[in-house]
Structure 1
């Protein structure tokens, strides 16, 4: 412990940076929910009333898989911690997900099965294995070599460790390795998962590891799950080391310094004798060789012709359907968001409307000219509640309608005459069903409950019969819904998607051959209708022709081809993925070495009885602490300024409840400040508290600060001279400690949908201090002195009794926004606007301090090029009449320091203030340069010219005036900075300042600002 102490102190300085993004709250469930809990040996499951059966299934699965999930990681879930790991089940979401939080430690399961494109593994098993592997990784924070750090910081150290060490690519890639090795499916066997790497390697696009890891603004890059799986799975495959992850975690402990920051290279060197660059080249070459061998084995490929036009940047067309001789598709790319488009017979593309990101594929109803889809929509208030609505586009009018607004309904399929729709429904407490709706009102006409062991996914109509694809532990199959879910196609460990019917035939896409191809099911006979080099998807059958989307390194374009596949095939003959099969054999060997015969074998698992979970009794749960004072409210967007102003001497403790709805901090600090009482700088202690609660309909934020300074007493003085009366405010520092309190209440309404992010946020904020103003007015008269002491003097002329009024402020505002989602190659949305309107005043002091009406309006427009963007903003305020100007905002062009004297100078003269801002984001060059290795990956160099123009008016005494600044930012955009794996922006900003007020400001000495301003830019995007 003594040897670790200096390292602990040094690391504590980095913890707030590395762990800020790890402070995790999944969101907020509906506040009216009541909760229960059950326990197993290592898990505590918390779930809403009514989900008892679902909770017991997850409890069983977590215990069943915990040893398997942790074996090759070197630790099983919760091995290094005494208390059961909290697992919160969220049953009201309309999308599927799961997470393991390092800060505070816990798990969150979104229990809705993947409804849009599930992998060949039941959702309960997927979550239990994947998230249990994350929980096994979490044991690193409690391992023997790091206990000293944990004693100093609690969970906070583990969060920093997860960011600085394995990082997201390792954590997620390792979990995908586990789900692939421990099952007969997993994402490592899915054609969709690595399809872009397959296309890129096929065209010779062998980027270095850092380019795949940190991405690019120029080239499409898959997410970190893929590079993680390829790196870790590839290393285990090539070097036959099933314990690769366990060795890596062992190597995080340094021999001399407790943290070994080169753990990855140390591990690679240990298992292969090579470093990362050489290992990655071998992995890429081996995977490419596997794919090339597969290509050579699959015979003659479909000849095709291009339909969609070429795009300048990576663009893909998905979810395609046909109507009235034209194609409708969802287009998206790295420079443009999702849009519904129509593709004419000549290949021309018409953009119809923005489109949401979480939707089903499109399906057409020829009888009424409708294009149907399902769209996930968030609840207006609760972020962990949502719905999936059935929507349609009318081709004859161009209008978009919503057929259903409630429930979780997915994958609509119209019948032959368009009068009915079959949709998939997922009740909150488990199971799946096929609903039949009338297409006019959206009313339910029939309901078919699937057997408990089957998750129905998509449906289609064969005449009056409904058939559906279904997922079970045996894999994907096809079932006759109308016939009591009898089996039409036996389930196999291969994905089935895009189930469609046409002219009495049933079509589907499957990856049974290792790539996605189109199949037709005739009775019990399966016919393969396509054979593409790299596979294809989103097929549309038009007579003897096919339209489909096929992926290359540059795009996913639409092609046309004749139906000429291999014909009748044995559907039970599945492609064997060499890397995935090796992983499974390795995991089986490890289990056998432990004396366990079968992976995931049934076991005797003790599960407690359910108990009521009291939210109030579990409101505060301490999880972390630091020997520093840190205000995380101020570091939500880390920059150089906030880092230097929000950290200091002291200590901080952090708490958060298990539901993630109550969180905050308690801290003590010591600050050295000047005091007029002693005319010296002195150290002053302080106590600070922050608390946020999101479990009520309005969000509540409270804060309190005691000490660190002294309060002030303010006194009013008036004097008359020459027939004019003047008033002034004098202050006196008081001996007692300062105290300030604030409360903010707001409702974050969310109206997002259709590709637009929309919100409306009314809020009220009140603050209170123990400084006060004495409203007793001391009246003085100015008299002229004669004789030897000529001059002027103030003579007491009486007083007007008043009272002591505590200084406080109340601000009410409304905020609204509507913006398109921002693609990966843009910094600004293509279109959007938002604004805030507010009113601020000091209660009981309105006759002395001016109330303030303020506004902030902003908007986004496209630039000259598709990656350029423009942001326009107008910020302003109007100060009402009063003795003392008390501005709520500082309205200045950038480049002007917000000096107190300058702000008071402007406020005293001009009640109306407004500043216009114009920013133009101009990417200069996309570097994608990894020459600095782990130190920094430079993605691009950006130039951002800006123009600010401020107007000051409304004065009866002073003429309208202005200030301006014009300049630019020049920045490097980094994918990482040393061991901090977040996008970082570093650069310089220059502004030339001027305006009609410049000479007067200089003359009156209210600002030390020069014409030229140069500043340093440093920000970390968390």
Structure 2
């Protein structure tokens, strides 16, 4: 369906009408205030409301110009309506695009405008500006949540003075903030010091001369006399003073950690939970290991209990020797659709299984007897419910619809199992609610407040939860006897994830440090704490000085709800959106030259049809080439078609009067290519699975042949090729160079079943297998490949060659290769080499490559050697990520050169 307003086209699925109508009004009411401080009212844009996924996200892009809102709220988002916040944030990006690239961001120059935006503006700037705007205009926003920027505050107060590049690009050595957090504070600092219109001035100056080298840093220095590094350092100097003063005023304290860290690896030990045997379960999230649930024993040692797959937020629940957790699941074919399922592990039988399938259930909580699981369901129509399912069968037992339009978060049972406490979220903030399982009624426990309330749990008749009333995340208790709230902890950096152990009368919680979350505990009798009305408060909301300069906050509850007309969005009427003319510079196989041209690109806004048509001039033959093609992805098989009309040339030697004479044979040809593929992507627990089957063919016809000869084939009718690939790879941690375990195979077959003039077959097998190395994060890779060809494919080599093959003495084509590669991380320097490079990691490797291992000759490598490589960012661009280095190759046998030195340049987006 679609709704057209003055400024927006909303495209949304049927069944999402109510939210679409509300968002149409919200967007229209918000765009003026969102765009005011940049002085640019953007032109009309399409907003696509995606309700089939389970991740909370959104983006704006050009080529094609559109924005997508992923409507499912997170279980850990801030104290306001998710789509309201998302609207303000993403609309700010729309304004940024139009402000910077307004002269170019219309068809057919959208790709050029997108490239200008990405090259000119550092991501910390445009994301930070959006977070600042979101924080100022909504009264909530991530800039007001201490947990959101906890790494940055902790590092600053812990005297870890990291460079601009390290805070921007991240690290695998330490915990650092993301560029969203960095950008929020740097943007806010600039607006506080140089006026709320500084970003307007910056983008205006850049836009007037968009091709100026180092445009952003040049403009920043021109307008503020500060480089990006100086702005970074100045921001952190000011934040250090503010946060130090806050810490001193609040008289914060440290807490003893129950866990012992064996090394300096940054890792979080999350969600501490006491077991019936006296141990403590926790979810370890480490840069060196993939997530798993561990148990900490009384002697300080920990052991792995069960691995955990991809999660929207870290989460598990324990009771009666069972553990449940939720995991993200891909739809096998359509990536815009995903699911959130419940898994269960029985500690007695050591069995793990997936309990629900194709569900949208979040934050599961086990009842004390371990028989029932409560979870939050967010339906595709945005209906929020608390659902109880059987822990034995996964079948639904009861369903409780949320009150009004409230989002529900993080349920937890009381000790007797007759009540469930959870968090309710609306545009007015967060509150605690309690469900009476006997009556089936929700009861409001606390008033709605602008607080990031998370993870409520029972401690007897008290409710413990995390909030930030005093300006830092701490634990609080609500006493139903007098309806008052008390502050229990006063941490240096933040206390989270409370759990009450009735056996030891201890309150377990996560206590943050620069190395990550530790596990701490305090004794709890039910009378501790300071009334929040009397507790000291020292709140640092860094953006608050801008409130008087910014537009007034958006009151989402007072937005008039106009009823817009909606109508069907017909895909056939919207298959084409020609957004860009792209330059083409293809290598020419006929000469040491390029074929230059252009391509007109179309991608429709629902991403189902990609179409192109283009022209190239063949410099070698001085003739024109024409092409067109499309990829249609709406249905389960993906359909691809391509057409090219081009000139061709071959030089034929003929004997004239006993002498060989070279005769050029030229022609034009039409080539049509088509294939059908079925890609399948799936994940289960800690493994990712990929399957793809493709079948394709082509038809080629030659015409306008000059110097024809009888053996020239005029038509080549439908040669066939088939491909099948399958892979299973385990998840990787940040420090892993490859999957710990992985199996990848690909099979190809080509032949000519419909052609009598040509014959031949080619069968190819490729494989790559991954194994754990001798130490953590090391990897052994083995790749075995072989092919067999006949007829026209007799000399075709379609498998990876051994290293240095171009320098080896000529031999027959390889029938098979075995490539062994051992990789290891060496160290993590986090070196900032001025504006040129930021090096995160050095890594080494050893390799040995074998050829024709079935030849009967002694088993010895054809070549072997070593390599040294580094992961880095260049010229202060977050993307692409570069992998640069070199290798030395030794040839085992005769060669033109020995050893061989190669340079390695790899980049990925």
SS of residue paired to 1:124: helix
Which of 216, 225, 232 does residue 263 from structure 1 map onto?
216
2: CA distance, partners of 1:652 / 1:578: 49
Q: Does 1:443 align with 2:395?
A: yes
The reply to whether residue 967 of structure 1 matches residue 865 of structure 2 is: yes
Aligned residue in 2 for 1:420: 372
User: Aligned residue for 1:1019?
Assistant: 906
Distance (whole Å) between structure 2 residues aligned to residue 695 and residue 760 of structure 1: 18
Counterpart CA distance in 1 for 2:282 and 2:826 is: 33
Counterpart CA distance in 1 for 2:346 and 2:381 is: 35
**Corresponding residue SS for 1:309:** coil
Q: Which residue of 2 aligns with 1:842?
A: 752
Counterparts of 2:775 and 2:534 in 1: how far apart (Å)?
48
Cα distance in 1, alignment partners of residues 807 and 9 from structure 2: 51
Check whether the contact 1:433–1:448 (CA below 8 A) recurs between aligned residues. Answer: yes
Correspondence for 2:292: 339
How far off is 1:92 after superposition? 0.8
Give the SS at the match of 1:851: strand
C-alpha distance in 2 between matches for 1:260 and 1:285 = 29
Match of 1:818 among 728, 753, 767: 728
| Aligned counterparts of 2:876 and 2:489: Cα–Cα separation in 1 | 48
Is contact 1:671-1:685 (8 Å) kept?
A: yes
Tell me, in whole angstroms, the C-alpha distance in 2 between the residues paired with 1:884 and 1:274: 63
Secondary structure, counterpart of 2:828 in structure 1: strand
Matching residue of 2:839:
938
Instruction: Name 1:10's counterpart in structure 2.
Output: none
- 1:705 aligns to 2:644 (yes or no): yes
Cα shift readout 1:822-865 (whole Å, capped 9, x = no counterpart): 32233322332211123222334599643222211112233344
Unmatched 5+ stretches in structure 1: 1-35, 79-83, 592-596, 635-640, 674-681, 716-730, 773-777, 779-798, 1000-1008
Q: Report matched runs for 1:353-752 at 5 Å.
A: 353-359=306-312, 361-367=314-320, 369-462=321-414, 463-482=417-436, 484-523=441-480, 524-542=483-501, 543-563=504-524, 566-570=529-533, 576-588=539-551, 602=558, 608-626=564-582, 628-629=583-584, 648-673=595-620, 682-710=621-649, 734-752=665-683
Structure 1, residues 140-160: CA drift from partner, whole Å, max 9, x if none? 3543xxx3x568961012211
Structure 1 residues 288 and 52, CA gap change in structure 2 (3 angstroms):
same
Contact preservation (8 Å) 2:495, 2:512: yes
Shift of 1:625: 0.6
Matching of residue 287 in structure 1 with residue 193 in structure 2: no
Q: How many residues align?
A: 886
1:887 counterpart = 2:786: no
Gaps of at least 5 residues in structure 2 are 655-661, 704-708
Distance change >3 Å, CA 286–CA 93, structure 1 → 2: same
Q: 1:755-795 CA deviation, whole Å, 9 max, x = no partner? A: 222222222232343369xxxxx9xxxxxxxxxxxxxxxxx
Separation (CA, whole Å) in 2 of partners of 1:941 and 1:366: 44
Per-residue CA shift, 1:709-765, capped at 9, x if unaligned? 2489999xxxxxxxxxxxxxxx99753313333223222212213122222222223
Q: Report if aligned partners of 2:288, 2:735 keep a CA contact under 8 Å in 1.
A: yes
Deviation at 1:243, TM superposition (A): 1.6
Q: Which residue of 1 aligns with 2:773?
A: 863
Q: Please name the residue that 2:657 is paired with.
A: none
Post-superposition CA distance 1:160-216 (Å, at most 9, x none):
112111132212111111111112210001121110011111210111212211223
Of 795, 799, 821, the match for 1:919: 821
Q: Note closer, same or farther for the CA distance 1:209–1:646 as it changes in structure 2 (3 Å cut).
A: farther
Distance 1:659 1:328, change over 3 A: same
Give the whole-Å Cα distance in 2 for the aligned partners of 1:671 and 1:943. Answer: 43
Which residue does the alignment assign to 1:113? Answer: 73
Q: What SS class does the counterpart of residue 489 from structure 1 fall into?
A: coil
Say which SS state the counterpart of residue 257 (structure 2) adopts: strand
Tell me, yes or no, if the aligned pair for 2:464 and 2:498 is still in contact at 8 Å: no
SS at match of 2:446: strand
Over the aligned positions, Cα root-mean-square deviation in angstroms equals 3.5
Structure 1 residues 491 and 382: alpha-carbon distance in aligned structure 2, compared to 1, 3 A threshold: same
What do the CA deviations read for 1:554-608 (whole angstroms, capped 9, x no partner)?
Answer: 23222334349633333999763331322333314xx5xxxxx966685668664
- If the length of structure 2 is used for normalisation, what is the TM-score? 0.90
Instruction: From the superposition, tell whether residues 309 and 616 of structure 1 become closer, same or farther in structure 2 (CA, over 3 Å).
Output: same
1:762 to 674, 680, 693: 693
Rounded to whole Å, the distance in 1 between the matches of 2:392 and 2:165 is 53
Tell me the residue number matched to 1:249.
203
- Does the Cα contact within 8 Å between 1:76 and 1:136 map onto a contact in 2? yes
- Report the CA distance shift for 1:151/1:518 in structure 2 as closer, same or farther (over 3 A): closer
Contact 1:739 1:770 in 2 (8 A): yes
SS at 2:572 equivalent: coil
Q: Matched residue of 1:305: which SS?
A: coil
CA contact (8 A) 1:319 1:360 kept: no
The alpha carbon displacement at 1:657 in A equals 0.4
Once the two structures are superposed, what CA deviation does each residue of 1:856-884 show, in whole Å capped at 9, x if it has no partner?
Answer: 111223334434333221121133x5586
Q: Give the alignment of 1:19-38 within 5 angstroms.
A: 36-38=1-3
Give the whole-Å Cα distance in 2 for the aligned partners of 1:616 and 1:753.
36
**Bigger CA drift: 969-978 or 464-473?**
969-978
| Residues 831 and 961 (structure 1), Cα distance of their counterparts in 2 relative to 1, 3 Å cut | closer
Relative to structure 1, the CA distance from residue 472 to residue 665 in structure 2 (aligned partners, 3 Å threshold; closer, same or farther) is same
State how far apart, in whole Å, the 2-side matches of 1:573 and 1:609 are: 52
For the 8 Å contact 2:143–2:543, the answer to whether it is kept is yes
| Cα displacement string for residues 628-656 of structure 1 (whole angstroms, at most 9, x for unaligned residues) | 2157xx9xxxxxx99x9997411111110
Native 8 Å contact 1:953 1:960 kept in 2:
no
User: Against the structure 1 CA distance between its residues 804 and 300, is the aligned structure 2 distance closer, same or farther, given a 3 Å change threshold?
Assistant: closer
